[in-house]
Amino acid sequence: MTDLRIAVDDHELAANWTGTNPAVRYAIASSLPIEGEATRWGEELYVRTDVDVTPEETQTEVPVGAVAYWPQGPVLCLFWGPTPASRDGEPRAASPVAVVARLDDVSALAGITGDATLRFEAT
* DSSP codes of every residue in 69-91: EETTTTEEEEE-S--TT-SSSS-
Instruction: Work out the number of other CB atoms within 10 angstroms of the CB of residue 13.
Output: 23
Where does the pLDDT of residue 2 fall: very low under 50, low under 70, confident under 90, or very high at 90 and above?
A: low
Q: How far apart are CA 8 and CA 2, in angstroms?
A: 16
Q: How far apart are CA 112 and CA 101, in angstroms?
A: 20
What's the domain range around 52? 4-122
Q: How far apart are CA 110 and CA 106, in angstroms?
A: 7
**CATH number assigned to the domain comprising residue 28:** 2.40.100.20
Q: 83-96 pLDDT, tens per residue?
A: 999 999 999 999 99
For the segment 7-30, the average pLDDT, to the nearest whole number, is 95
For the segment 103-119, the average pLDDT, to the nearest whole number, is 90
Number of independent structural domains in the chain: 1
Note the pLDDT of residue 72. Answer: 94
The answer to whether 118 touches 76, Cβ cutoff 8 Å, is yes
